[in-house]
Structure 1
Amino acid sequence: MNQKAIKAWIMYDWANSAYATTVLAAVLPVFYASVAAATLDTDTAASYLAYTHSIGMLCVALLTPLLGTLADLSGRKGDFLRVFAIIGVLATLGFSAIGEGDWFLASALLVISTIGFAGGNTFYDAMLPDLVPMERRDMISSKGYAYGYIGGGLLLAVNLLMIQQPGWFGMSSTLAGTRLAFISVSLWWLLFSIPIFRHAPRRPASPDLPGTWKGYAAVGVRRLRQTFRQMRRFPQLIRMLVAFWFFNDGINTIILMATIYGTSIGIGTADLMLALLLTQFIGFPCTLLLGAWAQRWGAKQVLIVSLSVYICIVILGYFMTQAIHFYVLAGVVGVVQGVSQSTARSLFSNLMPAGRTGEYFGFVNITGKFSSIFGPFVFGYVGQITGSTRWGILSLIFFFIAGIAVLLTVKVQKGMQDATRADQEEERNRSVGAPGKSSNVRFT
């Protein structure tokens, strides 16, 4: 294994998690409502922000499967990651220039930064099989998420100080501190991405690699169609994907709605932000520890246990009444959130043909984004018809129970054999079809 490349891969999670924690979770929602959309009423501002997130994810869902195919053909996933990361960095930097009432510009930058962040993660995830053998993927995947927690948490702590104590940083106001926070996220993301820019793994280019962008598009579309048709050859991967649709929707809904839910039952903003920090710092050691358990006992088993804990989280959330309860739940989420996501990523990588991970992670990305609309919808609809967000949070049990039920049917060893067989067949076909491979005589 290339240790430099592995360390660089882990460091990228440290780099871009600053965007996830500071921009997406903590600072941007408040900044959007109070500054960018200050000329709009509160409900309209919230709707515009929700629509913006949807548009950004839709763009990612439509782009990444084709781009993943092209990355597989060229063997240069690192180059695609670099492009998307820089797009995200520049868009994040642009938030620092947003003025009062600039909601359209803020929305445009959020769409662009979402494309950079989520699109880059598609190629980042797809690098894992290129870097690490199957028996080490659970641990390395967990390390990525763990370092993401600590990196994102450290910068978030500094960013909250920038906003709440702007004078400590030479800033004149909270707004100036918020602008500095956006600048710090973009610089952090760029600086700690340099290792993966330098050491990203490369695979040999496919013989199908075209020489023009038009040819790239044609071959990419053709390969993407093949991917859809060939999915039936990997029934265990399909089962894992269906399970992922359910439990990932539940996890994402908890992440997106936790702050709103806490606010609705009377928990203060300061407690909510501190609980978010608690999740980050508990997530670091727990993801490493449980990642080691996954390597020893199996990713599927550890994933099932972590999803079972989520069921307990939802039940306890229903009965929550005080800030201390929210802190406890935030801590428990920190224990299982990282390992549930990291083991899912490593399981996917083991069930995919190694030569087409860009395509298949792109497919996971597009279907995952579309499936993720149901959790928030169910939460909102149940809360609306019952008149209580408590029933909305309790309704998320369905997603975890369904995810566990489907996950129990996944035969991991059989799926790994299917993926290996597909790689071997593709390699044989490539060798037979390549000029000069079957004979020492070459005709021109």
Structure 2
Amino acid sequence: MQLNDKKAIFGWNMYDWANSSFATTIMAGFFPVFFKDFWNAGVDPTVSTARLGVANSLAGVLVALLAPVLGAIADRGTAKKKFLLFFAYLGILMSFSLFFVAQGRWFLAVVLYLFGSIGFSGSLVFYDSLLPAIVTEDKMDVVSGLGYGYGYLGGGLLFALNVWMSLKPATFGLIDAAQAVRFSFLSVAVWWAVFSIPLMVFVKEPKLAETVSKMTMVKDGLFQIQRTFREIRHLKMIFLFLAAYWMYIDGVDTVIRMAVDYGMSLGFKPSDLILALLLTQFIGFPAAIGFGYLGKKIGAKRGIFIAIAVYLFISIWAAFMTGKNEFYALAVVIGCVQGGIQSLSRSFYARIIPADKAAEYFGFYNMLGKFATVIGPVLMGGVGLLVRSMGFSSNIASRVSLSSLSLLFLIGGLLFYFVDEQKAAADMRYLAGNSLSSK
């Protein structure tokens, strides 16, 4: 496929538009609210927060274990789009099924959410790995930023519709807000399925010189994982970046997944929290695109440092906020950097990995990202329960638990400081020369 093809770039970006419906309406928006008020009705808020944290962490572990293996297998054949479609429709089916979960059935809701998160995250392994196949290196920051921009706009538009449904259910012929939320889960399934079509049509996966059987593809992929682990000592910059990414993206993902739950624990109204999320979405649209151009101008590394510094400030500021106006202000600041740190991290990583192993290496990238979500939610839940057990109120416990995220941004920023792109390029030259000499 010709690089920088406009239709391919559009199709690739539209998948971010499609799957972001799960991230906004379910993951960040209605699931935490519904989980606490509907599926955990009458349960202590600290307990429901811990349950949600465990659900997010289990999803992270399962995706983390699967991602590098699936990525390596996909690199041995032309299977990236097939794997992407499989995981996408797993997430779509789980989103659809949430509609049928009755009140108080929190465990069933967790199971469906768990597999929905696996579908969402698993598809991103293969979606990210297609970036080097559609654009040249000089356009990666901009196109990656466009992808996140499309995601914020598409996810935000559906989320706005769903919020309207929940606030004015009678307008849509619905009985109450609870029924509106359940229909919102159905809308995610439809949105995700329909807007995945452009990627399937316009993005053409590069063909290998040799065709291999499915069994050979699986066997070679598993062997490739072993070889890559042996190469770790020669790819210091890549793995130093992954360690840094592991830390700072943990804080980012935890903020995304737990922000609404945190606000509810402080006593804010669900409607105020949902509107703040909408604000983040629509600010995130131009901000993510802007960060792509910023990365092109000053370098992706500097752009990522700016975002890490802002998140460090956020994690401290949020622990002391008292009113909903502060929560709205916090939403604005998050919207300015959330998409930027995600898009520049993706394009930075795509630039320092071998292009012929993109799916495998993005498997490791997503593996560490998902293992990071094991630490963050459990850290918040665990610290909250510990402080609560010491006799402090739920309000204070929630504030202390959030402030602990600052450590992740500090450690991540420190590790990222030592990542050198030129040394990473030298690692790649060493790897290429070593591969040639071994043939």
TM-score of the two chains, using structure 2 as the length reference: 0.90
Larger radius of gyration: 1
| Counterpart-to-counterpart distance in 2, 1:168 and 1:252 | 34
Matched, 1:412 2:411: no
Stretches of structure 1 that go unaligned for 5 or more consecutive residues are 434-444
Deviations 1:153-201 (A, max 9, x none): 1111110111221111122232332222111111111111100011223
Identity across the alignment (%): 38
1:93-124 deviation line (CA, Å, top 9, x unaligned): 11222233444443332222122110000100
Q: 397, 408, 414: which is aligned to 1:399?
A: 408
Q: Which residue of 2 aligns with 1:439?
A: none
In the alignment, the residues of structure 1 paired with residue 112 and residue 383 of structure 2 have an alpha-carbon distance, to the nearest angstrom, of: 32
Conserved? CA contact 1:75–1:206, under 8 Å? no
Deviation at 1:7, TM superposition (A): 0.8
What is the total number of aligned residue pairs between the two structures? 428
Q: CA deviation at 1:35?
A: 4.2
For the residues of structure 1 that align with 2:406 and 2:28, how far apart are their CA atoms? 23
The residue aligned with 2:127 is 124
Question: SS of the counterpart of 1:75?
Answer: coil
Counterparts of 1:42-441 in structure 2, within 5 Å, are 47-205=50-208, 207=210, 210-213=212-215, 215-383=216-384, 384-385=386-387, 387=392, 388=396, 389-419=398-428, 422=431
Note if contact 2:33-2:270 (Cα within 8 Å) is conserved in structure 1. no
The alignment's C-alpha RMSD in Å is 2.4
Cα gap change, 1:323 to 1:49, in 2 (>3 Å) = closer
> Are residues 421 and 296 of structure 1, via their aligned partners in 2, closer, same or farther at CA, if it must alter by over 3 Å?
farther
Specify the alignment match of 2:24 in structure 1: 21
* Matching residue's letter, 2:186: I
Give 1:392 deviation, angstroms. Answer: 3.0
CA contact (8 A) 1:79 1:197 kept: no
Q: Single out whichever of 371-380 and 108-117 deviates more from structure 2.
A: 371-380
C-alpha displacement of 1:36: 4.4
Asked if structure 2 preserves the Cα contact closer than 8 Å seen for 1:353 and 1:420, the reply is no
CA contact (8 A) 1:227 1:359 kept: no
SS at match of 2:231: helix
Contact 1:56–1:112 under 8 Å retained in 2: yes
Q: Which amino acid aligns with 1:186?
A: A
- CA distance in 1 between partners of 2:307 and 2:171 (Å): 40
Residues of 2 paired with 1:106 and 1:257: CA distance?
Answer: 17
User: Mean Cα displacement is larger for which, 147-156 or 217-226?
Assistant: 217-226
Equivalent residue for 1:436? Answer: none
Instruction: State the one-letter code of the partner of 1:274.
Output: L
C-alpha distance in structure 1 between counterparts of 2:136 and 2:431, whole Å: 17
Letter in 1 for 2:254: T
Q: Is the 8 A contact 1:39 1:101 kept in 2?
A: no
The alpha carbon displacement at 1:48 in A equals 4.5
Q: Which amino acid aligns with 1:390?
A: R
Letter in 1 for 2:299: G
Whole-Å Cα distance in 2 between the matches of residues 212 and 315 of structure 1?
50
Give the Cα–Cα distance (whole angstroms) in 1 for the partners of residues 37 and 381 of structure 2: 23
| Alignment counterpart, residue 9 of structure 2, candidates 2, 6, 11 | 6
